Structure 1
Amino acid sequence: MADTAHILDYQKVQIARREHILFDDFDLQLSAGEFLYLTGSVGAGKSTLLKTVYAEVPITKGKAMVLGHDLNQLTKRRLPLLRRKIGIIFQDFRLLPDQNVYGNLDIVLRAFGMGRSAERKEKIDEVLEEVGLGNKGYKYPHELSGGEQQRVAIARALVGNPELILADEPTGNLDIENGLAIVGLLHQLSSERGTAVLMTTHNRLVLERYPARCIEVGNI
């Protein structure tokens, strides 16, 4: 039986990309509110591993529980229930270029069924303040620096009050200073909100400046 303290519990999991097995007999546990780094070389499967957490890539063998959902038994009908509890931050930001900052967050809340515009605005204002962009809601992605765009992406991940944030190389497109600032912000938000963070990185400076539990993964 999975430890109820673990919001993520992988036991003897196999993950494959086509005929290529990336992980075999792989164990991974993440506790509520914990910050965990996944490190490894390019091509080691870190991003693919994150995709299994929100059920974009299937588990081929083993037991995998995420936020109370058994990934091997997850139906399409229940998939949105899992994904609403997860915020995702990508290396390349993935903001909608034809929407301003407010619109990029508002579309998430509308998808979650938050109908009242005043309630959505209050929530958006709150998370933009948290990420240090309280006066930037009117701007479009192309008007922002890379660091600011990643802060918007973090706000987008936070706006649904997730229990788990997946951050896939969030510093990869940023300079050293902005990258460290983003990781510092993630640590701060994780601590203040009690939100677990699973972050992939190959940046050793990040690990030195903001230490946390770290698991190195590699091709088998």
Structure 2
Amino acid sequence: MDAPVQLRDITFAYGEGELRKAVLRDVDLTVAPGEIVLLTGPSGSGKTTLLTLIGALRAMQDGSARVLGQELRGANEAARVRLRRSIGFIFQSHNLLGFLTARQNVAMALEMDARLSERQRLDRAAELLTQVGLADHLEKLPAQLSGGQRQRVSVARALAAEPGLVLADEPTAALDKASGHEVVMLLRNLAKSRGVPILLVTHDPRILDIADRVVAMEDGRIVDTSAEKHAAA
């Protein structure tokens, strides 16, 4: 089986001419099925840019990126949109729609599946929210939920379409220790029970112990990659 993420010689820059600024330089990275990889490093080291390239949120420039079997080098916008439907995204800011309930926010992620009726989408959303511990909060608006609860809604939304890959950008940054731990354990259980790989950008040292590998970046390069002591457990 091919690795879900295979990056070779990824180089990326913003701007043109004298304003051109390289943010990624010759990055190689492979992520295996069910593996949890944390990307760490100082601000500006290229972590989030790398995540957006893997997630097909921006066009490739140089190098090769095979994600879920799709080569992104030279892929057009339509191909990138198709790939994004197979990826679950979790962001620091939740990105929930304030005028929709928790259940409606999760159900929105299933609207592209024409096989499902609205009732089936809402039922599936309720199942997912129950799995992340929010069975009693289905009809609440985001403003009625705590930060940890809102992030759990975003985790449920990311899982709704049964993605082949989950990408998370600072998912615990705005959470207290207890809520952050709950969120990362949900992600770890997902990775291990369903074989879904997770690539997670973080500055949070509290969550390093959930990783199979911690990949450190600096100045657009991978400078260290280490297996966590418990990864083989």
Report the TM range for the smaller structure's normalisation. over 0.9
CA offsets per residue over residues 119-170 of structure 1, 9 Å max, x none?
Answer: 2123112211211112211000000000000000000000000010001000
Aligned equivalents of 2:86, 2:200: Cα separation in 1: 16
Aligned equivalents of 1:99, 1:121: Cα separation in 2: 12
Matched, 1:207 2:208: yes
* 2:56–2:81 CA contact under 8 A, matched in 1: no
AA matched with 2:200 = M
* 1:84–1:112 CA contact under 8 A, matched in 2: no
Q: CA deviation at 1:51?
A: 0.6
Aligned equivalents of 2:206, 2:104: Cα separation in 1: 34
Unmatched runs of 5 consecutive residues or more in structure 1: none
Q: Which residue of 2 aligns with 1:181?
A: 182
Q: Which residue of 2 aligns with 1:5?
A: 2
CA offsets per residue over residues 184-209 of structure 1, 9 Å max, x none?
Answer: 1110121122211000111112114x
TM-score, normalization: structure 2? 0.88
Q: Which residue of 2 aligns with 1:216?
A: 216
AA matched with 1:152 = V
* 1:89–1:157 CA contact under 8 A, matched in 2: yes
* 2:11–2:26 CA contact under 8 A, matched in 1: yes
Q: Which residue of 2 aligns with 1:144?
A: 145
- Displaced runs of 4+ in structure 1, greater than 4 A? none
* 2:104–2:122 CA contact under 8 A, matched in 1: no
Q: Which residue of 1 aligns with 2:225?
A: none
TM-score, normalization: structure 1? 0.93
Aligned equivalents of 1:118, 1:177: Cα separation in 2: 34
Aligned equivalents of 1:77, 1:26: Cα separation in 2: 25
Q: Which residue of 1 aligns with 2:66?
A: 65
Equivalenced residue count is 216
Match of 1:109, SS state, is: coil
Q: Which residue of 2 aligns with 1:76?
A: 77
Q: Percent identity?
A: 35
Aligned equivalents of 2:62, 2:170: Cα separation in 1: 26
Q: Which residue of 2 aligns with 1:129?
A: 130
Aligned equivalents of 1:164, 1:82: Cα separation in 2: 10
Unmatched runs of 5 consecutive residues or more in structure 2: 221-233
Cα RMSD (Å)? 1.4
